[in-house]
Structure 1
Amino acid sequence: MEHFTKNLETLQKLLTESNGAFMHFGNEQYRFTQQATVTPEEIADFEAQHHIKLPETFKTFLITLGACTLFEDELGFAYQFFPPNQWEAFSAEVFEGTGEYLFPKVLLVCYPNVGHQAGFITTQPDAFGTFYSDIPLEYWEEDTELLPFADWLNEEMATL
């Protein structure tokens, strides 16, 4: 958990320093942008409305960083985390035309801007993963590497 906390502190600092402008991080130029703050009440309201429980680490991430775009490079590739009030609409957009509507069992909270989606399988306690568009929806749960959110974030930060 200590590693996760340090990564959140690093991301919070990057959001503040970048403020939407490109800056050096590692060997690359990235920008970091906060679109909106997220309150504990917004998260609790979403959980109550949809009868789900989000992992504490993800709630801490949202409350600390808000809805944000992380590691946006000059080509526009980034991790875009949406606020709770956009999760259902984002999911509906992804599932449109597929004949499947998996929300809120599959809770999509992030668009990695490469044609994939990222989020949680909410029937598991802490199962975050990137869902690939070339895999049929009915196989997302079994074909996706699911990790606790803190582990996913730690792995992503370690690769940069």
Structure 2
Amino acid sequence: MSVYDFTVKMPGGGTEALAAHQGKVLLVVNTASKCGFTPQYKGLEALYRKYKDQGLEILAFPCNQFGAQEPGDAQEIQNFCSLTYDVSFPLAAKIDVNGTDEDPLWHYLKQQQAGLLGSRGIKWNFTKFLVDRKGNVVARHGPQVKPEALAKDIETLLAAAA
């Protein structure tokens, strides 16, 4: 099993099979528009622009589970990201990353890479998972890790053959 076996919900009710990203390096992150870490959108966009032509995809999943910091609907979230941070990578539909209604992809990600002290749950917004070109979850980074700190790991994964 790999991340390519999952389908995610997109704004407007559609879905996207992650198999469409096969052979790409993925950075999967739960996001929020009203969080202290929200300025990380700028760093995520910078990574995306720098590495997208080499095979990086960023998949952002808005989530309202932490301090109700993503209260908007899909259009409000998209407008905020576009107008405030000029985000051009795709935003999935708003999801839960923990609990009984957690998104299946996020359940899988958490099982593949534990957090601090072996914890599985997502603790806050802007938790990041790196996925190699074969769909393997290779790293998990907490919210305090800025996107730009992942550049070397991304370059290493991009240099590896699919």
| TM-score, normalised with respect to structure 2 | 0.33
- Bigger fraction of residues in strand: 1
Greater Rg by CA: 1
Which structure has more relative contact order (CA 8 Å, sep 6+)? It is 2
| TM-score, normalised with respect to structure 1 | 0.34
